[in-house]
Every structure is written in C-alpha cells, then in structure tokens.
Structure 1
Amino acid sequence: MTQASFRRFDESRREEWALIDSHFRAYQADASRRVLVHLERLRGDHHGYPVDRYEHCLQTATRALRAGANEEMVVCALLHDIGDDLSPANHAEIAAGILEPFIDPLNTWMIRHHELFQGYHYRHFFGLDPHARDAYRDHPAFERTVRFCDEWDQTSFDKDYDTLPLDAFVPMVERVLARTPFDGLPELVD
C-alpha cells in the first residue's frame, strides 16, 4: 500500500495510519531544509530598510552567536522574521508557530512578541507608545525579549557589518529542527 484509501477518518484502518505516520515522520525530518529554503525567499526584500530581510536575519543571528547565545537562541535569531514573506502584519506569529514545536516556550514567547518589543525604538514615530512592552514586565521572558530586540534585532540593519554566511548556521538549524516536536510524538498504538 502506497496511499490510504479512506474517504473519511471513520473509515480508516490502522495500517493506513501506520503508512501516513511513516510519511509524516519522513516529512518532519526534512523540516530544516524547507525552512532554510523559505528563509532564502527573503533575499532582495528590502521594504525600504538599509539591508534586505535575509541579511537582517543573518546579522541578527551573527550578533547573537558573537554575544555567546546558545544554539537555540541563535536559531531563533536567524528565523525570527521568516514569516515576513507570507504575512508581514503577523510575521512574528508565523515564525513562532514554525519554531514552537522545537524550542523552549519562553523563546517561542520571545519570537511571538519581538515586534511589539522592537517598537520601543520606533513606535513614537507613529504616535504610538514606545513603552507598550512594559505591560509584560512581569513575564518570565521579558528580559530575554528585551535583550534579543535591543542588542541583536534592532541593531542588525548595518550594510557594513561583518555578517556570517548562512552556512555557519545550517548545522544549528538542522540540530534544533531535528528535535522531537513538543518533546515527543506519540507512537501508533494497537
């Protein structure tokens, strides 16, 4: 059998789910390649910024790595804006959703909220409160999100920065996205 034959789940059989599960696990194992292909789509996408979104992501990851961040944080820095290609208005939510199964929940929160926290540096130009992030001051991920935005993300628009190439980060992405999602996929049971 190479494909399930049910038309509805309530018509399915165990062997069909075993087949689907094996395909799902193989597809899941290829997540890092697909994510990196998507990251490449940010090349040439400037939106008026001094560097394109791809370069910005590489710079953010380079700064995090050089600051001694752990591998997971470096991967978060690299992929934090990956949702820009699909939906700039909620790009942070998309990036958080992609990484959530593989990373610490506090890092997921950081990515999900980085846009608001980043606003500390520019919201006033739009007549908005730059201190809006302070509403989360008591959240356990507040300080890491401030550091991420203030030290790495908002500083990564420098055309002259000595940015590392993507190849420097590929092994890290592969290791992080090779983790078992949400600390374990259940096995098919009898």
Structure 2
Amino acid sequence: MADGEVIDRARFKTMTESTAEDWAAIGRAAAPHRGELPDRILAHLNLLKGDHGGFAVDRLEHSLQTATRAHKDDRDEEYVVCALIHDIGDVLGPANHAEVGAVILKPYVSDANHWMMDKHGIFQGYYFFHHLGLDRDMRDQHRGHPHFEYCAQFCHLYDQNSFDPDYQSMPLADFEPMLRRVLAAPKHSIYRKDDA
C-alpha cells in the first residue's frame, strides 16, 4: 500500500493482519449505517402493527400508549423513547424481549433507563404471572437494587395499563424527532476513547 493511500475496504483476511488503515476504512463505511439506526427502529416498530398476540391492542399501539402516557406525564425524551421501544423485541426475542430493547438502547441511555428496560419483563410479571402459575413476586430478586422502584413505577404507571383500545395515543411520527435526538450520539460505547 502506498504511503497515505486511502482504501475503501479492509484488506486483511484475519484480524491479526489488520492495520489502522483497514480500521479507518471500516469506520468510514460504518458511519452511515450507524446514522440509519432511527430509521431501522421505526421500521421495526411498524412490524408490530397488526400483531395482537391475543391482546386487546396490537403491539405497536401498546408501545404508542406507553410512550404517550410517559410523554403526557412530562417524562424526559430519553424516558419516552425507552417507553416507545420497550417491547420492540417482542417479535425477534419473544423469550427475552426486554433484553432486546435494552441492548439496542444501552449506549444511548442512562443506567437507570437501561436497567428499567432490561428488567421490565420480570417487573411486569407482577400483574399477571400468578395467572400463569408463576411467581408474581419474581421481581423481588432485584429488591434493594437502586433502580428497583424506578422500574416498578414504569410498569405500574405506563406499561401494565397500556392495552386500552379506546385510548388516544400520539402517532408514531410524533415520537420520531425524540427518537432521532436520543440516538444522535452514544453516551457510552466501548469504541469511544473517552469511555476508556
């Protein structure tokens, strides 16, 4: 490779052969993809439309109701975005849906909001696990955690009560600017030098 040559694709076959120039090419190619994350999330939220899963409203409407309730309660944008995509994993990870949304937002949100998203599935169980022969107090395994009440409050105020077919939710388009702002830049990332 000529000195100062800018390549458009990495040339290594194994990572042990990689160079700084290879990784610079990968970084340049990945930049637009990272910027498209809000579009991919919006597209995936739209996949929830029409999927009722036996509930009175479809999964998109549940997400919109949860986010609308949080927004009307003057929660900050980060919290509202968490409310909007808290169940985005229902389709891709039905056995661990809470973790799916949490891992997507982890670089962009506070520790409290990430923990809330990650654990809300168990906390939501307080309202229905006993009907399935499960322990409704399963969330108690986390009692004493600094974010326990924060997550319990999210489920009580916004999640468990957002299955109302008569509720007037804000449209998804109203949440798009918030989503774009929250996802504009990671707060935490293994790839950011200032996080080292």
TM bucket normalised to smaller:
over 0.9
Distance, in Å, in 1 between the alignment partners of 2:70 and 2:101 is 17
Distance 1:186 1:119, change over 3 A: closer
Residue 36 of structure 2 corresponds to residue 30 of structure 1 = yes
Aligned to 1:140: 146
Distance in 1 separating the partners of 2:133 and 2:14: 52
- Paired residue secondary structure (2:23): helix
Aligned to 2:177: 171
Runs of 4+ in 1 over 6 A off after TM superposition: none
Number of residue pairs the alignment of both structures matches: 187
Unaligned runs of 5+ in 1: none
Q: Given the two structures, how large is their TM-score scaled by the length of structure 1?
A: 0.93
Partners of 2:80 and 2:114 in 1: CA distance = 13
* Equivalent residue, structure 2, for 1:88: 94
Residue matched to 2:66:
60
Determine which of 95, 108, 112 is the counterpart of 1:106: 112
Name which of structure 1's ranges 129-138 and 53-62 shifts more when overlaid on structure 2: 129-138
Cα deviation, residue 137, structure 1: 2.1
Query: What is the match of residue 124 of structure 1?
Result: 130
Task: State how far apart, in whole Å, the 2-side matches of 1:142 and 1:10 are.
Answer: 43
TM-score of the aligned structures, taking structure 2 as reference length: 0.90
Looking at structure 1, the residues matched to 35 and 44 of structure 2 have their Cα atoms a distance apart, in angstroms, of 16
Note closer, same or farther for the CA distance 1:165–1:90 as it changes in structure 2 (3 Å cut).
Answer: same
Deviation at 1:13, TM superposition (A): 2.3
Deviation at 1:2, TM superposition (A): 2.3
Cα distance between partner residues in 2 of 1:15 and 1:92: 38
CA distance in 1, matches of 2:91, 2:18: 37
How far apart, in 2, do the equivalents of 1:140 and 1:8 lie? 43
Question: Who is 2:4 aligned against?
Answer: none
Structure number with higher relative contact order (C-alpha < 8 Å, ≥ 6 residues apart): 1
Aligned partner of 1:69 among 71, 75, 90: 75
SS in 2 for 1:157: coil
What SS does the corresponding residue of 2:156 show, helix, strand or coil? helix
User: Is 2:188 the counterpart of 1:186?
Assistant: no
Q: Which residue of 2 aligns with 1:2?
A: 8
- Which runs of 5 or more structure 2 residues have no equivalent in the other structure? 1-6
